[in-house]
Amino acid sequence: MSSRLVQRLSAEALGTLILVYFGVAATLAATGGSLGVAAAYAVALALAVWILGAVSGAHVNPAVTIALAVRGRFAWRDVPGYLIAQVAGGVLAGLLAWATCLGVGLAYGTAILALAPITGASANFARTFGAELSAKLGGGPAHWGDLWIYAVGPLVGGIVAVFVYDVLVAGRPLMAPSARPVRPGTAGTATATPA
């Protein structure tokens, strides 16, 4: 197998991974509805074609590969490799998307299991406040004096986590500019702007 073919097959697998990962992750997150899922697939496909189109043609779909071969626009000898690369990229993307969702859930669940006996394991002020208010309205006890820790703890933990991720994982400088305005209607997604 030539190094050029290996490069094309790798690009095809990566392109399919990009397409499938973002689409499946959007579906699993289920925050954007059908339009959000469609947009995720559209952006992922555009990204795969833009980045990898010059290398492999970015078919990223067995039907496209076979259709091109039927019309004589793609060599039949390369079809099996492309199909295997596309399926491998799709399977890897699906597993990666599930692992991402599972990992986030397991991390949060582990924290709850470890801290529940001591603190009630709320890492969300809104959840704690809502539960306390419901308890009080229902005639039960409310622990208003302890509420501050549920505001401060997750806030400090979140800030520390972002710094640790930025510096240790993403390799950003410790004192990087922090001006990242959030545009209205973007559900909390930040867009970086140069400082």
Residue 172 is encoded by which pair of tokens?
């950003």
> Which of 59, 54, 47, 53 minimizes the C-alpha distance to 90?
59
The model's pTM: 0.55
Looking at the structure, tell me whether residues 7 and 46 fall in a common domain: yes
List the domain range (segments joined by +) for residue 102: 3-106
Side-chain-side CA neighbours of 160 within 13 Å: the count stands at: 6
Per-residue pLDDT of the chain (195 residues; tens, 9 = 90+): 788 999 999 999 999 999 888 888 887 776 667 888 888 889 989 989 999 999 999 999 898 999 899 988 899 999 999 999 999 999 898 888 888 777 767 766 776 676 666 666 666 677 677 777 777 787 877 777 877 877 887 788 778 877 777 777 777 777 755 555 556 655 544 444 444
Residue 147 is encoded by which pair of tokens?
């509420």
Looking at the structure, tell me whether residues 79 and 169 fall in a common domain: no
Looking at the structure, tell me whether residues 23 and 100 fall in a common domain: yes
- Which amino acid is residue 59, in one-letter code? H
How far is Cα 69 from Cα 147, in angstroms, rounded to an integer? 65
Number of domains observed in the structure of the chain: 2
